Chain A
Amino acid sequence: MTAVTGESPVQEAPVQEAPAQEVAAPEAAAPLAGNGVLGQPLDSREDPQLLRGEATYVGDIDLPGTAHMAILGSPVAHAKILSIDTKAAEQLPGVLKVATAADFTDVMPLPCIWIPGGVESHFPPHPYGLPGARPVLTGDAVRHVGDPIAVVVAETPRQAAAALAAISVEYEPLPVVTLAEEALKEGAPQLHEAVPGNLNAYWTCGDKDRTDAAIASAEVTVELDLVNQRTINSPIEPRGAVGDYNAATGEYTLYASTQGPHNHRFLLAALVLGIPFNKLRVVAPTVGGSFGTKGYLYPDMPLVLLLSKALGRPVKWVDTRTGLMNSTVQGRDHRQHVTLAGTRDGRITAVRATSYANLGAYPSTIGPGVATALMGRSISGMYDIDAAFCEVYAAFTNTVSLGAQRGSGRAEAAFLMERLVDRYASEIGMDPAAVRRKNLVPKEKFPYDNGLGWTYDSGDYQLNFDRAIELSDYAGMPARKTEARTRGKRLGVGIASYVAICGVGPSTRMSKEGMLGGTWESANIRVHPTGEVTVTVGSASTGQSHGTVFAQVAADELGIDPDQVQVYEGDTLKAPYGQGTYGSRSYSMAAPAVALTARKIKSKLVKAGAVFLGIAEDKVVYAGGKVYEEGNEENTKTFAELAMAMWYGWGLPPEIEPALDETTHFDPPDFNYPFGTHVAVVEIDELTGETEVVAYTAVDDAGNIGNPKVVLGQIEGSILHGLGQALMEVAEYDDNGLLVSRDLNHYALPRAFDAPFFTLDKTTTPSPHNPLGAKGAGEIATVPPAAAVVNAVVDALSDLGVQHIDMPVTPEKVWRRLRGESQ
C-alpha cells in the first residue's frame, strides 16, 4: 500500500508500510485496458458530505406527519405470556396505537433463508413453516430478553417510549438456558414446541472416518477446548426504520438502515407480508456501519410498514443502544472441542472439530449458515491437510439471535486452527512459524480442494507468510523478550494465518449450501447524451465508499475521467437487483458487474464507431475514451461525441439499438479466497496482568485492489475489531438470561488508545473468478487478530505452563494465571 503514504505529505505516518510484493498468479485475470484510475488511492468522494454532517441516516429522515414507534421488549429471558393489557397505554397522551401479536395474525414469521444442509427440501415451499421462526411480535411466550411483545405508536418518540411502561404483561416464568451445549442436554428448557431438544441443525463437513483414523494412528495429537465468546458488532449507528404507506397508490416505502435493500424487499414482500413485489420500495439512506448486522430482517421492518398503513401516516422507529444490544443479531458464540494430529517433525496430518453453536432464541435470516458452513468449511486455513472433519450442533437458547459479525465464521475457524497449530508446535518443541511454513498449501496446488467443501482459487501462501515473518522482525523476538523482562513485562509473539471465503457467490453453489435465493450482483451503466455516465448497482454501502470505487471501475474500463461518473445505489426503485454488501463481496461481485457492463458499452461503441467512422469493425480501436481507426488516429470520435451520436441514433443500422444503457448480472463461477498472515506482539505487565499489543504486523492478500486508500481504512478498522474480541469484548448473560453487557458502559469497545501501530503490507494474487481479479477485502483483517493475540499471550505465559487462555484476555484473567491459578 505504498501509494497511500506516497501521496501523504505527513512523512512520518503511523502506519509503517513496506514495499508491496506484486505477485501475479498464473491464472491472472485479463489485464485491464483502462486508463489507470483503478488501483489509485483516490480520495473518497463520500467523505466531504460525511465530514459536514450532511449525510442523511435513517434517524434524520423526517417525513411530514410522522408518528413514532417504540417496541416493548421482554424483561425476562424465558416465560409464557399469560395476558397482555394495553388499555392504560392507549389512554396516554399522544398515543395513536398499541399493537400486539393478535393484531398481526395474517403476517408470516420472519424467514430464515440459510438452512444448513441445503434447501432442496425446502424450496418450494417457502420456509414459512420453518421451526422456531420468529413472529413479528411474540404472543405465546418470550424467549430472550428484548423479545418484542408489543408496539406503541405515538406523536412523539418520548410519548411512545413512556407508554411502553403502561403496558402490563403477565408472565409465567420458565427455566432459562443460555449455552448451546447445555440446551442440548436431556431435560434442558425447551424453546420451541416444534424443535424438540432445541437442535436447529446438526451439520458436518469433511471426511469423518479418514480423520478419525488419521488421529488414531498419529504420532502426536493435541486437543483444546475453546470458547469463542459471543460478541456484539455494535455499529455506531443503531438500526432504524421508517414505513410510509401511500393509500392513493397502494405503495409501501421502507427506509431502513439496511446493507441489502433488495434482499429486504424480497424477504418482506414475498415471504413476510405477501404484498405485490412492485408495490414495495426499500431505500437505504446513509448507513452508519453494519459489519453484518444490518443484513438481517428484524420485526421493526414489517411493523413500521403495517402500522403506517393502519394509521395512514409515516411511522418511524429508531433504536437505542440498549435496544440494539438486546435485539440486533450477535456474533461468534461457539464452544469447541478440537483436535489436531501430526508427525513429530511438524507435518499436520488431520484436524477435527466439534462445535456447539449458540443460535439464540430464533433462527435469524442467515445465522444458521454462518454458524455452520461459513465456519466449518474454513477450519483447515492455509494448510495442506490430508484429513479434516467438522461437525456443528446449532442450538436454540434464551439469548439474542445469532448472526454475522465482521469476519463471521471465518474468524471462528481461524481462531480454532491457529490456536491448535501453536499448541501442536509447543507439544513437539518446534517453532510455531516453522510448523506453519512447513504446512502451507504450496503454490502449485491451486486450485486447491481443502477437503471441507471449499476450493481455494489462487494464492502464494509462502510468499505472504514469509513477508509477514520478515516484516514483523520475528527473528528479533528473543532479544525483545529479554529486554522486556528488564521492564517488568513479559513479551509474547503470536502468528495467525487465514483463508477467508469471500465473493458470495455462485448462486447454485449457495443453494447447495442451503441459501434460499440467488447471490449474484448486477450493475447498470447509462451513458447520457452529454457524455456523463451513471452507474447503478444493487449493492449498498455501509461506509465502503462505493460511490468512489465503482466510479473508478467504470472510468477505468471506459477510459474516461472518474469525475464524469456518478454512482447510485441503495434504492430499489432506482437500482438494478442485487443482494447487497456482506461478506466482503461488493468489490468482487458488484464491481465486476460494473466492469462487464462497461465492456458491453465499449463493444457497442466499437460497432457503432465503425458506422460513424466509415470503416470496418475490425479496424476500430477503443482506447483512451475514444474510438479511432487503426493506423489513422485522425479518424476519431471522442466518448462525448459518441454518447451524443448514440442518443440521436441517426444512421444506425437496424442491428444497433440507439442509446447506451446496459446491464449485467454477475454470478461468478466460484467464491474467491483472500488470505493473509498477521503477527501480534504483546507485553504483559507482571504486576497488573494487563496486556498491551505493542506491535502488529499484517500482510493480507485481497487480489487486485480498486482503491488502496479505502482498503487501508478497512484493514485498519478490521484489525482493531479483531483485537477488541481478543482483549475486551464479550456479550455476557447471567444465569437468568439477562444480558449484562446491555450498553456501552458494560460492553467494552476498543477506543483510540487501544490501537497500537500497525505495520501493513500486502501481496497480490488475483482471483481467476472475476474480471477484476478481485478478492474480498473489507472484513478479512478481522479474521486473524483474535488468534494472533491469544497466541501471543499464551507465548508470553508459556513458561508458567499456560497452554490456553479464553477470550477476552482481561487483566484479571492474566493476573490470576501469573499467580498460578488455573483458567
Chain B
Amino acid sequence: MDLSLNVNGRPEQFAAQPNELLVERLRDGLGLTGTKVGCDTGQCGTCVVQLDGRSVKSCLILTAAAAGSEVTTIEGVTTPGGELTGLQEALRQEHGTQCGFCTPGMVMALGELVGNTADREAPTEPEIREWLTGNLCRCTGYHSVVRGVQRACSAAREKAPAEPATTAASGQEGSGR
C-alpha cells in the first residue's frame, strides 16, 4: 500500500507491506539507523521515536498505523556533528552513555519529559526513574542518566527567565525508588 509519513520535517512517500513495522521503515526503508532494535518484544526501548510529539516504541507500531503522522527520530533532534540539545549536553556531562546502544531511545523518551520542564516543576528523581521504565540500559545502571536529566532540567529552568531560579532539589528526595 502507498503511505506517507512526515519524518523529521520531511515528507516521505513509499509503498509498504501491511505488516511492516515503523522501525523497519525508518531503519531499512529510510536509512535512519539512529533508531535501534534491541529486542523482539517491546521491552527494551532502544527503538523509541516521537510520534506527533509523544514517545512510542517504533517496533510496536505498524508503519500503516503511523501513516500521516509526524515522526521525529534521533536524526531529527540534531544535525550531524551539530550542537547537542540541552538534554544531550547534560547527558554528556554526566556520562549518561557508555556503549550508546540504548542512548537514542533514551534521548527520545526523555526528550518528552524534559521538553517542557521550563514551565513545570522539575521532575523528581523517582519520576525520572519511572519515566525510564520502558528503556533498558545494561551499562550505566541508570544513575548517570538520572543525573543527566536533573542537570538538563536545572539548565532548562535557569534559561527560562520568567521562572524563579529553583533547582532540581526536589529530585533528590525519596529513597531512590
B13 interface contact, C-beta 8 A:
no
- A649 on the interface (CB 8 Å rule)? no
Q: Is A44 an interface residue (CB 8 A)?
A: yes
> Is B38 a contact partner of A53 (Cβ separation < 8 A)?
no
**With contact pairs A236-B44, A238-B38, A321-B44 given, residues A755 and B142 touching in the complex (Cβ less than 8 Å):** yes
Q: How far, in whole Å, are A234 and B37 apart by their CA atoms in the complex?
A: 13
- The answer to whether A47 and B39 have CB atoms under 8 Å apart is no
Cross-chain pair count, CB within 8 angstroms? 221
Complex interface: chain B residues within 8 A of A750 (CB): 141
8 Å CB contacts to B: which residues of A650-707?
Answer: 692, 694
Contact, CB under 8 Å: A48 / B95: no
Cβ–Cβ < 8 Å partners of A709 in chain B = 95
The one of B36, B94, B169 that contacts A12, using a Cβ cutoff of 8 Å: B169
In chain B, residues 79-118, which have Cβ atoms closer than 8 Å to a Cβ of chain A?
80-82, 84, 88, 91-104, 107
Asked whether, in the complex, the Cβ of B34 is within 8 Å of the Cβ of A52, the reply is yes
A236 touches B98 (CB 8 A): no
Contacting pair A52 B78 (CB below 8 A): yes
Query: Please, which residues of chain A bring their CB within 8 A of the CB of B169?
Result: 12
Cβ of A286 under 8 Å from chain B: yes
* SS class, residues of chain A in contact with chain B: loop
| Complex Cα gap A157–B28 (Å) | 10
Stretch of B50-58, B61-69, B130-138 at the chain-chain interface: B130-138
Q: Which residues of B contact A50 (CB under 8 A)?
A: 97, 99-100, 103
Is B172 positioned at the interface, with any CB of A under 8 Å from its CB?
yes
Which chain A residues lie closer than 8 Å to B39 at the CB level?
320-321, 743-744
Contact B84 A236 (CB under 8 A): no
With contacts A52-B34, A52-B84 known, is A544 near B98, CB below 8 A?
Answer: yes
CB proximity to A under 8 Å, residues B121-148: 125-126, 128-130, 132-133, 135-147
* List of A residues within 8 angstroms of B38 by Cβ: 236-238, 288, 321
Q: Which residues of B contact A716 (CB under 8 A)?
A: 140-144
Beta-carbon contacts under 8 Å, A706-748 to B = 709-710, 712-714, 716-721, 743-745
Contact B141 A717 (CB under 8 A): yes
CB–CB B142/A10 < 8 A: no
Residue B33 at the chain A interface, CB threshold 8 Å: yes
Q: Are A755 and B141 touching (Cβ within 8 A)?
A: yes
A15 contacts the other chain (CB 8 A):
yes
A43-B95 contact given A14-B125, A52-B74, A289-B101, CB 8 Å threshold: yes
Q: Please, which residues of chain A bring their CB within 8 A of the CB of B168?
A: 10, 12
Closest beta carbon of chain A to B149's beta carbon, Å: 10
Are A694 and B125 neighbours in the complex by a CB distance under 8 Å?
no
Contact A54 B80, CB 8 Å, known A713-B98, A744-B41, A751-B132: yes
Q: Are B175 and A745 in contact (CB under 8 A)?
A: no
In the assembled complex, the CB of A16 is this many whole angstroms from the nearest CB of chain B, namely 10
Residues from chain B with Cβ under 8 Å of A52 in the complex? 34, 74, 77-78, 80-82, 84, 88
Nearest A residue to B154, CB-CB = A10
Distance between Cα atoms of A743 and B39 in the complex (Å): 8
- The listed residue (B43, B92, B144) touching A743 by CB distance below 8 A is B43
Which residues of chain A are near B126, meaning CB under 8 Å? Answer: 753
Instruction: Give the residues in chain B near A751, CB-CB below 8 Å.
Output: 132-133, 136, 142
Interface residues of A (CB under 8 A from B): 8-15, 43-44, 46-57, 59-60, 62, 157, 233-238, 286-291, 318, 320-322, 542-545, 692, 694, 709-710, 712-714, 716-721, 743-745, 749-753, 755-758
Q: Could you pull out 29 A-B pairs where Cβ atoms are within 8 angstroms?
A: A8-B93, A13-B147, A15-B143, A47-B96, A48-B84, A48-B92, A51-B97, A51-B100, A52-B81, A52-B82, A53-B77, A60-B33, A62-B33, A235-B101, A237-B38, A238-B38, A288-B36, A318-B37, A544-B98, A713-B141, A716-B144, A744-B39, A744-B41, A751-B133, A752-B133, A753-B126, A753-B133, A755-B141, A758-B141
Given contacts A54-B81, A321-B39, A744-B39, 11 further A-B pairs with CB under 8 A are: A10-B168, A12-B169, A51-B97, A53-B74, A237-B36, A288-B99, A321-B38, A545-B95, A694-B175, A719-B141, A743-B39
